[in-house]
Structure 1
């Protein structure tokens, strides 16, 4: 199977499960608490590995106990970690997450060592681009590093997938013409284009050079534009939403798995919806992602 090079963040998530979000100045007692593997890059690499897709992680962690947790989590999931280095100055990235009774989350991120994934780091790891077929990238590392990685990807003939989260000003329109598949959610789509009209937003992004835009629409599912029409693929129903943390990452991995296997966008979106439906039924991000053998593939029929 084609290999995926994942460039992105590696975090540890500190998650509090609450009945509701606290008001300013208010102290709440949480119903439960957990420490989980996180970071969009690491999450997506783990989700791919659980789907039996060869994934190699490029990123940085700190020289601390949190890094040991992160590296062991990645390895145990089947992700290759030879592209990960340790910062001598900054701690491992982390996220403070609140999950309410409806399973919705609010997240505050401390970038930590992820901020040291600079252009020099990318250049030092150029050799890994020559041994992959896809580059998967997010916005949790510096924009200049993203641009250089995309340039290396095109130099070595890799197809590129970008999850533009968290949305940030990239400051260089050259990035967009190097992106084959862009997977924003509805909020990210609006912030990237300054319009709430989905079709108009997709056209704006394509005018910048993006080849295809797949829009994640939360409970509604996901869709893409084809011949002037937005095609929506409904979300897979579940009995109870427990925690949506990492569901978008699971979706991205499912989509990429589908594209590697079938090279068909509609089928890939259906697979992405299906894999994400498993993630939201458990607590945590990476720990909630399904193994390929757990998925009821008959639901695609």
Structure 2
């Protein structure tokens, strides 16, 4: 995808997110526990989350018209998640309710250094099927940008990416969580592949800790067929290898005092997608996503930490 003309500052592009919705159960502790160890925590919160939900909220708060394709359980958590999305102005007409599985949950521990460890129980997210994607062809066709992650079934993610390619929409894949390499036939369906350093390492089989490591990973992933690759590196920024740029660029992140890194990557992706959808140049969309993510890590929680557009510095 090539850069576009400068967008109208009042325009709002359309983003459709296909993905997970979880209730996050968040405990704060001095450090992450060792195997078999019990630690005393010092705070607990229950907040809406899931990578799909987080990215949808981020895109909505950061300027896009957003629709969500997902599934919640017929329970209190599901009702809370749906109402929280609707409160953000997100279109939930394609949000199904399972009569068989509970709403997904994520068990999150955040330590005093702002690092986290997460265990996800998919629940109703497993019922986001390719058939549900097929039933939402009109919604996908109306999107400027389609965003997917890996917390729903693999065949569903591929169906959404394939629909996006067939319909001529811009597709973003955040390969999280990445447990193994992606199928080879996925890469040509992806306009923007956005892994973090751990996910990029899993996808390429090589550990990543520096921007130079990210450069090698980005080239390897682009060679598989992804049109653009953006490796996020937390406090080190991002490495972007874009279509038409043979070298790529390391883009440092704004310097902030991190409190909680939960949902920082989701905030980046939501902000990036929102800017792409409204017609911004790719470089400007990356920079906007970085500024939004930097603000998010100065706050606690997943969705509570995601900023609104008017809070993000120009």
TM-score range, shorter chain: over 0.9
Normalising by structure 2, what TM-score? 0.90
Unaligned runs of 5+ in 2: 1-11, 208-212
What is the aligned counterpart of 1:260 among 268, 277, 292? Answer: 277
Partner residue in 2 for 1:105: 116
Unaligned runs of 5+ in 1: none
Partner residue in 1 for 2:185: 174
Does the residue aligned with 1:80 lie in a helix, a strand or coil?
A: coil
How many Å separate the matches in 2 of 1:160 and 1:9?
A: 17
Partner residue in 1 for 2:75: 64
The number of residues matched between the two structures is: 296
How many Å separate the matches in 2 of 1:168 and 1:83?
A: 28
Q: Does residue 218 of structure 1 match 2:220? A: no
For 1:185-240, what per-residue CA distance to the aligned partner results, in whole angstroms no more than 9, with x for missing partners?
A: 111111111234333322221222100001101111112136443411111111x3
Q: In the superposition, relative to structure 1, how do residues 46 and 275 fare at CA in structure 2: closer, same or farther (>3 Å)?
A: same
Does the residue aligned with 1:35 lie in a helix, a strand or coil?
A: strand
Q: How big is the shift at 1:249?
A: 0.1
Does the residue aligned with 1:41 lie in a helix, a strand or coil?
A: helix
Q: In the superposition, relative to structure 1, how do residues 84 and 188 fare at CA in structure 2: closer, same or farther (>3 Å)?
A: same
Q: Does residue 159 of structure 1 match 2:159? A: no
Q: How big is the shift at 1:262?
A: 4.7
User: Higher relative CO (CA 8 A, sep ≥ 6), structure 1 or 2?
Assistant: 2
- After TM superposition, the structure 1 = structure 2 runs for residues 117-266 of structure 1, keeping only pairs within 5 Å, are 117-169=128-180, 172-196=183-207, 197-225=213-241, 227-238=245-256, 240-266=257-283
Partner residue in 1 for 2:7: none
Partners of 2:15 and 2:274 within 8 A in 1: no
Q: How big is the shift at 1:180?
A: 0.2
How many Å separate the matches in 2 of 1:193 and 1:26?
A: 33
How many Å separate the matches in 2 of 1:198 and 1:272?
A: 18
Partners of 1:223 and 1:269 within 8 A in 2: no
How many Å separate the matches in 2 of 1:16 and 1:210?
A: 37
Does the residue aligned with 2:17 lie in a helix, a strand or coil?
A: strand
Q: Does residue 272 of structure 1 match 2:289? A: yes
How many Å separate the matches in 1 of 2:218 and 2:181?
A: 18
How many Å separate the matches in 2 of 1:174 and 1:106?
A: 31
Q: How big is the shift at 1:116?
A: 0.9
- After TM superposition, the structure 1 = structure 2 runs for residues 13-24 of structure 1, keeping only pairs within 5 Å, are 13-24=24-35
Partners of 2:71 and 2:127 within 8 A in 1: yes
How many Å separate the matches in 2 of 1:276 and 1:19?
A: 24
Does the residue aligned with 2:146 lie in a helix, a strand or coil?
A: strand
Q: In the superposition, relative to structure 1, how do residues 129 and 277 fare at CA in structure 2: closer, same or farther (>3 Å)?
A: same
Partners of 1:139 and 1:168 within 8 A in 2: no
Does the residue aligned with 1:136 lie in a helix, a strand or coil?
A: strand
Report the more deviating stretch, 200-209 or 135-144.
Answer: 200-209
How many Å separate the matches in 1 of 2:179 and 2:260?
A: 25
Report the more deviating stretch, 123-132 or 106-115.
Answer: 123-132
For 1:32-72, what per-residue CA distance to the aligned partner results, in whole angstroms no more than 9, with x for missing partners?
A: 11011100000000001101200100000001000011011
How many Å separate the matches in 2 of 1:21 and 1:2?
A: 40
Partner residue in 2 for 1:77: 88
Does the residue aligned with 1:82 lie in a helix, a strand or coil?
A: coil
Q: Does residue 286 of structure 1 match 2:303? A: yes
Does the residue aligned with 1:9 lie in a helix, a strand or coil?
A: coil
